[in-house]
């Protein structure tokens, strides 16, 4: 696979995995409520290895938020164990559907941040693969250890100060109720970062979970959510249409660790 595209269709992937040099397939199904390993064990794409978003692709929760950047050495070890090599393309997928978790997008973003250039996201995820009538398996492969070298800096990252800069366009990927501060099921403080615009991640996909274009204007664009996972879906959608965007990795879970930072509520930014 070559080029700057981030999205790969199910038909194209089905052909690739039948070839002599198939891509590394990473199943990153994840949600706050369910263990992705259960879904993986029940059935996954042939040859896919399960990658745990929390343990393999993020750092430990703490002052940096619930899904901070991993230490480069730890990420490199995890990726090599999963079979990621510098010269082999990688395809990541999650559950798909009309309400994206952002897990595949965050995996794509993390690998790109780590310097892995040829990474794609399966359009529509596992749901699209099944809907197309393509084969799944419960067989767990033994990946050949990879040789990837992690080189951080491949994707732009925003700090809290950059997220708060009124000269930047900051997108909030959470649902409207969380943005407005009406509910907060995860973090101890409700609301949003002052100046942020609400663009729920579900608006980046159609009713089948396939990626679609979003309209955002501005020279410097960044995205955040609760912990930097769902927001990666916005970064992915913008990247695919040629608009670069940064990720505020710590997101809301990091923003609220400093009581001196302002919290906004309601529809107004």
CATH, domain 160-255, list 3.40.250.10, 3.30.450.20, 3.40.50.1700, 3.40.50.970 = 3.40.250.10
CA distance 94 to 30: 7
7-131 and 160-255 share one fold: yes
pLDDT the model gives residue 269: 64
pLDDT tens column, 144-177: 999 999 999 999 999 999 999 999 999 999 999 9
Residue ranges of domains in the chain: 7-131, 160-255
| 1 band by pLDDT with thresholds 50, 70 and 90 | low
Is 58 a known active-site residue? Answer: no
The strands making up 221-224's β-sheet, listed across from edge to edge, are 197-198, 169-172, 221-224, 246-247
pLDDT higher than threshold 70 for residue 2: no
Which candidate in 107, 221, 225, 247 is catalytic? 225
How large is the average pLDDT for residues 186-199? Answer: 98
Architecture of domain 7-131: 3-Layer(aba) Sandwich (3.40)
């Amino acid at each position: 696979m070559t080029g700057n595209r981030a999205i790969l269709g199910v038909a194209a992937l089905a052909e690739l995995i039948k070839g002599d040099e198939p891509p590394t397939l990473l199943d990153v199904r994840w949600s706050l409520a369910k263990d992705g390993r259960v879904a993986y064990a029940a059935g996954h794409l042939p040859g896919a290895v399960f990658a745990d978003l929390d343990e393999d692709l993020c750092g430990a929760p703490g002052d940096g938020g619930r899904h901070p950047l991993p230490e480069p050495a730890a990420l490199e070890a995890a990726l090599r164990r999963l079979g990621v090599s510098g010269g082999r393309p990688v395809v990541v997928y999650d559950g798909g559907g009309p309400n994206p978790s952002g897990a595949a997008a965050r995996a794509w973003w993390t690998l790109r941040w780590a310097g892995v250039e040829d990474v794609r996201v399966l359009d529509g995820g596992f749901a699209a693969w099944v809907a197309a009538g393509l084969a799944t398996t419960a067989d767990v492969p033994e990946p050949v250890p990879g040789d990837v070298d992690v080189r951080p800096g491949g994707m732009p990252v925003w700090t809290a100060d950059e997220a708060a800069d009124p000269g930047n366009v900051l997108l909030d990927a959470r649902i409207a109720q969380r943005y407005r501060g009406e509910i907060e099921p995860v973090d101890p403080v409700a609301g949003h970062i002052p100046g942020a615009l609400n663009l729920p991640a579900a608006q980046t996909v159609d009713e089948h979970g396939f990626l679609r274009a979003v309209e955002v204007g501005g020279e410097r664009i960044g995205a955040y959510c609760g912990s930097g996972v769902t927001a990666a879906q916005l970064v992915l959608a913008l990247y695919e249409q040629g608009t670069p965007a940064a990720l505020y990795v710590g997101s809301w879970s990091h923003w609220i660790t400093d009581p001196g930072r302002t919290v906004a509520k309601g529809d107004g930014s």
